[in-house]
Structure 1
Amino acid sequence: MIDRLTDLGSITGALSLLCILILIGGEIVARNLLGISLHFSWDLAGYLMGACFLLSSAAAMKGGSHVRVTALLETLPPAVARVLEVFACLVGFAICVTLSWALIDMAWLSGMRGSTAATAFRVPLIYPQAVLAIGAVLLTLQCLAQFLRLMCGEALATGPGLE
């Protein structure tokens, strides 16, 4: 279930990146051919970049794409390396829980206050902040899945060329 949610977040993150491409391409065409600017393009591109980053971070963890320093793990006895991996996973989980809590709280407060962006776009901040919170929750869940994998004796994925 966690891996399916992670995959959905990854697809949504990729679509966010595609939307940035379309948005910035539209801005370039509008400026150069029509002599106008899409006043919302930079704001929306920033929100989409945050969505891309956080919604895809769980998939990066699942696939082993996050940078890990394995030089120490390779020199330690396997049992000690495993304990260190579990400890690092728990620390990462605690950090992700804190991040998720903070982003959920921020989105909740923005919704309660009716906060909007201080730009011409005036988007209600609850929407982009809620997307960031969802991405952080996905990352937190993937940290939990990594911990469970370690407890079941599985090795964590490592991406190519990251060593």
Structure 2
Amino acid sequence: MRRLLDALYDGAAWVGALFMVGTLLSVLAGVLDRQFAWSLRGTDMYAGYCMAASGFLALAHTLKKGEHIRVTLMLNALKGRARRALELWAMAAATALASLFAWYSVKLSINSWQFHDVSTGNDATPLWIPQITMGVGAVILMIAFIDELVLEISGRRVQVDSEEALHHE
């Protein structure tokens, strides 16, 4: 199961990276369109869709690598049972919030599809298409938080040292 979950997080990050390349290509197409008057429609909108997709799909991978911002001032001041209780509370609250976020992100996609909602830009893209990546990214983030919560409850959670995270930059 561990390998499957890690593959899910890594796979979503790789797809997110491909969407980042899509952002670059959309911006370049927009620049070339203005230079050569090719009349390409919606390149700025597609750059935004790709940027949002890359961000949402990378959330779970970023969490699992310890790169999310955490305020550790209180956590570092606590020891023993108090620290563990705060960790459990934080993981449970984050899991609940991620679950709500996933629910409403997926619901937004479904509603956009049902109501035939389209972009207000000149591309008139059905909005459920770019919203799918937000929903998928949010669901994968929810799974990652559930994973972290289960690891914390079972005492197997490995915490990345904040100093270690700084060395990845």
Q: TM-score, normalised by structure 1?
A: 0.91
CA contact (8 A) 2:65 2:160 kept: yes
Partner of residue 28 from structure 2, selected from 20, 25, 28 = 25
CA distance in 2, matches of 1:157, 1:39: 45
Match of 2:165 in 1: 160
CA distance in 2, matches of 1:130, 1:82: 36
* Gap regions ≥5 residues in structure 1: none
Match of 2:7 in 1: 4
Deviation beyond 3 Å, 4+ runs, structure 1 = none
Partner of residue 16 from structure 1, selected from 15, 19, 27 = 19
CA distance in 2, matches of 1:108, 1:31: 35
CA contact (8 A) 1:62 1:157 kept: no
Q: How far did residue 148 of structure 1 move? A: 1.4
CA distance in 2, matches of 1:58, 1:20: 20
Match of 1:116 in 2: 118
Q: How far did residue 40 of structure 1 move? A: 1.1
Deviations 1:49-82 (A, max 9, x none): 1111110011110000000112221221132111
Instruction: Give SS of 1:160's match.
Output: helix
Partner of residue 81 from structure 1, selected from 80, 83, 86 = 83
Structure 1, 58-67 or 72-81: larger mean CA deviation = 72-81
CA distance in 1, matches of 2:30, 2:127: 23
Instruction: Give SS of 1:94's match.
Output: helix
Q: How far did residue 127 of structure 1 move? A: 0.9
Instruction: Give SS of 2:57's match.
Output: helix
Q: How far did residue 155 of structure 1 move? A: 2.5
Q: How far did residue 37 of structure 1 move? A: 4.9
* Gap regions ≥5 residues in structure 2: none
Match of 2:146 in 1: 144
Structure 1, 93-102 or 66-75: larger mean CA deviation = 66-75
Q: How far did residue 26 of structure 1 move? A: 2.1
Q: TM-score, normalised by structure 2?
A: 0.88
CA distance in 1, matches of 2:80, 2:56: 32
Instruction: Give SS of 2:166's match.
Output: coil
Q: How far did residue 29 of structure 1 move? A: 2.4
**Percent of pairs with identical residues:** 25
Q: Root-mean-square deviation (CA), in Å? A: 1.6
CA contact (8 A) 2:30 2:44 kept: no
Instruction: Give SS of 1:114's match.
Output: coil
CA distance in 2, matches of 1:95, 1:52: 21
Instruction: Give SS of 2:119's match.
Output: coil
CA distance in 2, matches of 1:93, 1:128: 24
Q: Give 1:161's aligned amino acid.
A: L
Deviations 1:70-106 (A, max 9, x none): 2221221132111111110111111111111111111
